[in-house]
Structure 1
Amino acid sequence: MATLVQFDRLGGPEVLTLREVEVGAPGAGEVRIRVDAIGLNRAEIMYREGGYFYQPVFPSTLGYEAAGVVEAVGEGVAGLAEGDPVAVVPAFLQSEYGTYGDHVILPAMAVVPRPADVDPVRAAAVWMAYITAYGPLVESGRVRPGDHVLITAASSSVGLAAIQVARHVGAIPIATTRGAGKKQRLLDAGAAHVIVTDEEDIPARIKEITGGEGVRLAFDPVAGPGVETLAQGIAPGGFLVVYGALDPRPTPLPRAQSFPALTSSTYTLFEITTDPERLRRAVAFVNAGLASGSFAPIVDRTYDLADIAEAHRYMEASGQVGKIVVTVSHDATTA
C-alpha cells in the first residue's frame, strides 16, 4: 500500500486528502519510484482549483516533480533500473499521473537519473524551474552574452532559476518584485538589478539600466494588462515571453503603433519535456550547471507529506523566495 494525496472536488487546500491506495506494478513504459521529496508548483494550485488548462478526473492525484529511488520498471523501459536515484520532470498530465505520494507510478520518459551528489530535496526543486527558464533563454537561441533579460515575479522558483540561467549564458538579469522586502534577497540570488514595481516605473528603470536600449527578452509569468507596460521596456526586435497567468484578466497583444517592433509569444515547458531530443539537451544543460555550481536551487521551506494542505496554503500566500518542498519519511508517514 502507498500513501497518496488525492482530491474529489475542486477547492482550496482543504480538499487534499491522504489516502492508503494500492499502487501495484508499473505497466509498459512506466516505473514505480519510492518518493523522498516533492517539489510544489503554482500549476498544482491552479489544477486543484479548476483554473489550469485541463481539468481533474476524480479522484485525482496531482504533482509534477519529485525525487527518489526506482523500485520497479515496466516492460520496455531502458536506462533505468531498481535502486537508481532519480528525479521527475514535468512531462505528463496530472489527470493521468502525479507525484504527491510516498510510492508512485510514472511514465519512464519523465524520470531522469539523479546525480549522486544531488540530494532529494534539491533534486525535487530543479526541473520545473530550470527547464521553464531553459526554453526561452537557451533552447530558442534568443538570449546572447551581454543581453539584458527582464525577469518578472523573480522571487518564484522559476524566477530564481532564470536569474541563474541568464548569468550562466552571460546575460544580465534584471529582476522585478512588488515590494522592497525581497530586493536584497534577489540581489543575493544573482540579479544584477532589481526593480521594485510598487515604487519604481518599470520602463523608465529599464531604460536607465540599459542605457536606453531596453531588454532583449522579458520573461513573464503574470500576463494580463501589465504586458503592455513590459513591452515599453523591450528593445526593438526583442521578445516578450509569457509563461504563466497569475493575472486572470485578458492579456492584450502589445500595440504596434505604441512600441518598437517585438515578438510576443506564450511558452510552457511541455514544449521541451515532451520532445525527447529537446529534453535530452535540457537535462544535459541543467546537470552541467548543477555540477559546475552555476545552478543552485533555492529552497524556501520544507513540509512533511502529512502537512500537504498547509504547504499549499503557504504557497498561496506568495511569501516564499524559492521552492517549497515536501519531504517523505518512509518510517513515519501516516494517512
Structure 2
Amino acid sequence: MPQVVVFDRFGGPEVMHVVEEPAVEPAAGEVRVRIEAFAVNPLDQMMRSGASPAPIALPHARLGVEGTGVIDAVGPEVTGLQAGDPVVLTAVPDASVRGSYAEYLTVPASRVLARPAGLGVAEAAAIWVAYSTAYGALVEKAGMRPGDHVLITAASGGVGRAAIQIANQIGAVPIAVTRHAAKQDDLLATGAAAVVATDRVGVAEAVRHHTGGTGADIVLDLVTGPGQLDLLAVARPGATLVAAGFLDPRPASFPAGTPLTIHGYRSFEHTLDPVVVKRMAAFLNAGVRLGVLQPVVDKTFALDEVVEAHRYFEKGLHAGKIVVTI
C-alpha cells in the first residue's frame, strides 16, 4: 500500500514515522496526485515540534505544504486536468490532515498548477513555496519596481534566494543580508548586487554605502523579532517593510511615528486567491523559461530517510532547499 509520513506526538525529527494507508479516491472537484518529491520547509518543523500557530490534531498528524507529482485520478466536475499531467501543489492549507509527505494525496483541482517546463522533479518540488512567498511579498504587497533597492534578510534561505532572483527579474537591486561572511560568494553567484555579512560589518553602514546614502526602498524581513527595529535605520523615509518570516518568534515593536509602511505577510494570503496565483504562475513560468529563476536544491533524501532530512534541516547549514524524493 502507499506510504505516508505521520507523527503521533510533538518533538524532534524522530517522532516521524512511515505508515501504509490506502490511496483516497478524489471527491468532486478534486484530483489525486502521485507525489514524486516534496521539499522540507520551516512550517513543517514548526508543526512537528508543536510550535505551529495553528492547532494540530494528534495522533496521526501529517506534514507537507509543498510538492510535485503527476495527476493519478480526477474526481467528478474537474475540467482542464487529466491523469498523467505533471503538476506542482500551490497550497495545502490542511497539511496536518493531508500533507504532501506521502506517496499520494487528494487536493482541490484549484490547488495544482502545471509543472513549469524545464524543471527537474527535485527543482519543481522546491520552487513554489519559496518563490510564491518572495513574489507575493515583494511584488503584490510591496509593489517592487525597477531600480528599487531591496534589502533581504536571511538571504541564504530558500525565500531569500528566491527574492534575490525575483528582484533581478523585475530590474530591482537586491542587497542580501547574512550572518556569515562565508556565504558571500554564494549569494553573489545567486544574483545579489551586494552582500552584507553581519559578522564583519554593520547593516546600517553597509546599506548606506550600497544605496549612495539614500537607504533601502523595500526591506524584506525574513527573520522578524526584536532585531526588526534595527532595520529602521537602513530604510529611507517612506520605504516599505514586509515581515514575511518567523525565524525569531519574539515580538517586534516600533516607536510611534515610524516613517515606514509596514506589512505582515503569510503566503496563504495570496496562494488561496486564484487571481493572484494566476499572476504568480505566469511570472514564475516566464522566469524559469528565461533562466532567471533557478531553484537551488542543496540535498535530496529518500522517503525512508525523512527523519535524517529533518535533522539536516535543523542544522541550518544548507544552501538551498532540502528535497525528499519518492
Q: Which of the five TM-score ranges fits, normalised by the shorter chain?
A: over 0.9
What residue is the counterpart of 1:133 in the other structure?
Answer: 134
What residue is the counterpart of 1:14 in the other structure?
Answer: 14
Q: Which amino acid aligns with 1:263?
A: T
Q: Equivalent residues in 2 for 1:1-335 (5 A)?
A: 1-58=1-58, 59-140=60-141, 142-252=143-253, 254-256=254-256, 261-328=259-326
Name stretches of at least 5 consecutive residues in structure 1 with no aligned partner.
Answer: 329-335
Q: CA deviation at 1:91?
A: 4.3
Structure number having the greater helix percentage: 2
Question: What is the aligned-residue RMSD (CA, Å)?
Answer: 1.3
Count residues in correspondence.
325
What residue is the counterpart of 1:332 in the other structure?
Answer: none
Q: Which amino acid aligns with 1:120?
A: V
SS at match of 2:14: helix
SS at match of 1:125: helix
SS at match of 1:246: coil
Please tell me whether the aligned partners of residues 298 and 323 of structure 1 are also in contact (alpha carbons under 8 angstroms).
yes
CA distance in 2, matches of 1:170, 1:91: 31
CA distance in 2, matches of 1:256, 1:147: 26
Q: Which amino acid aligns with 2:100?
A: T
Q: CA deviation at 1:96?
A: 3.1
Please tell me whether the aligned partners of residues 68 and 87 of structure 1 are also in contact (alpha carbons under 8 angstroms).
yes
Please tell me whether the aligned partners of residues 56 and 94 of structure 1 are also in contact (alpha carbons under 8 angstroms).
no
CA distance in 2, matches of 1:141, 1:255: 21
**Cα shift readout 1:120-156 (whole Å, capped 9, x = no counterpart):** 1111010001100111221236211111001111111
Q: CA deviation at 1:90?
A: 2.5
Q: CA deviation at 1:48?
A: 0.8
Please tell me whether the aligned partners of residues 117 and 289 of structure 2 are also in contact (alpha carbons under 8 angstroms).
no
CA distance in 1, matches of 2:110, 2:65: 13
SS at match of 2:246: coil
CA distance in 1, matches of 2:183, 2:91: 28
**Cα shift readout 1:47-101 (whole Å, capped 9, x = no counterpart):** 1112122122221111011111100011222221101111112242213321001
Q: Which amino acid aligns with 2:285?
A: N
After TM superposition, what 4+ stretches of structure 1 lie above 6 angstroms from structure 2? Answer: none
